[in-house]
């Protein structure tokens, strides 16, 4: 206690903050140096992703705009299918909702997506000795990266009172044949997404 009072009188503190009082023996503070590309890491492989992320840590990039446009383009090019009693074609992509992304983790590139689709379909069937124009949609409720083998399509027909239940079932079965060409186009989409 007496020593603290003596130190206060002399202006000496019992606690010393080492940064405040640099001695002549201490190393000088480092000076900033501008690095060029050769100085950074000459033997390191080039990093994926942005220039700021040279360590290849987590980085996520949205590819949703590109993916949505590309899906509409690919699915619009499926064309028409010929069935035993008629033919149909995909007219338009009514709904294409979801997201796609590219993630760089530990200098490895990973892609993914989740989408929902609704495709407008029109066709003509020769049923009971007369031709019927039929409109409907092919709905794919949800699909994501790597799950194309589990793809399911729901066929919805526009309300047409002239068609019997049996004929509607036949048309639905015919329209489900669009599943394989759609699966092929989505497989092409996945490959293009991986290659980005």
For the chain, list the domains and their CATH numbers.
58-195 (3.15.10.20)
Give the model's pLDDT for residue 193. 92
User: Phi, psi (5° rounding) for residue 133?
Assistant: -85, 130
Give the model's pLDDT for residue 59. 86
Q: Within the chain, which residues score under 50 in pLDDT?
A: none
Give the model's pLDDT for residue 159. 74
Give the model's pLDDT for residue 115. 96
Task: Dump pLDDT digits (tens) for 105-155.
Answer: 888 889 999 999 999 999 988 876 778 888 999 999 989 999 999 899 999
3-state secondary structure the chain: CHHHHHHHHHCCCCCCCCCCCCCCCCCCCCCCCCCCHHHHCCCCCCCCCCCCCCCCCCEEEECHHHHHHHHHHHHHCCCEEECCCEEEEEEEEEEEEEEEEEEEECCEEEEEEEEEEEEEEEEEEEECCEEEEEEEEEEEEEEECCCHHHCCCEEEECCCCCCCHHHHHHHHHHHHHHHHHHHHHHHHHHHHHHHC
**CB neighbour list of residue 51: distance below 8 Å, 6 or more residues apart:** none
Give the model's pLDDT for residue 27. 78
**Beta strand pairing status for 59-62 and 154-157?**
unpaired
Which neighbouring-strand residues pair with 104? 59, 109
Closest to 90 measured CA to CA, from 151, 150, 139: 139
Is the overall model pTM greater than 0.75, yes or no?
A: no
Distance, in Å, from the CA atom of 55 to the CA atom of 64, rounded to the nearest integer, reads 25
CA-based torsion, 159, 118, 79, 169: positive or negative: negative
Instruction: With beta carbons less than 8 A apart as the criterion, state whether 106 and 114 touch.
Output: no
Alpha carbon dihedral 73, 77, 81, 86, in 10-degree steps, equals 80
The token pair that represents 74 in the structure block: 């690919």
Instruction: With beta carbons less than 8 A apart as the criterion, state whether 56 and 66 touch.
Output: no
């Amino acid at each position: 206690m007496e020593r603290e009072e003596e130190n206060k009188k002399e202006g000496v503190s019992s606690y010393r903050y080492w940064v405040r009082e640099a001695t002549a023996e201490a190393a000088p503070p480092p000076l900033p140096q501008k690095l060029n590309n050769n100085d950074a890491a000459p033997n390191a492989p080039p990093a994926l992703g942005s220039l700021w992320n040279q360590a290849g840590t987590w980085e996520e990039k949205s590819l949703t705009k590109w993916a949505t446009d590309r899906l509409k383009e690919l699915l619009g090019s499926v064309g028409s299918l010929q069935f035993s009693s008629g033919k149909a074609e995909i007219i338009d992509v009514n709904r294409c909702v979801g997201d796609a992304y590219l993630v760089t983790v530990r200098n490895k590139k990973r892609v993914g997506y989740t989408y929902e689709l609704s495709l407008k379909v029109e066709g003509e069937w020769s049923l009971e000795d007369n031709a019927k124009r039929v409109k409907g949609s092919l709905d794919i409720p949800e699909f994501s990266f790597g799950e194309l083998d589990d793809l399911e399509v729901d066929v919805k027909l526009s309300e047409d009172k002239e068609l019997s239940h049996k004929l509607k079932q036949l048309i639905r079965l015919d329209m489900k044949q669009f599943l394989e060409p759609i699966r092929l186009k989505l497989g092409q989409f996945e490959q293009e997404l991986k290659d980005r």
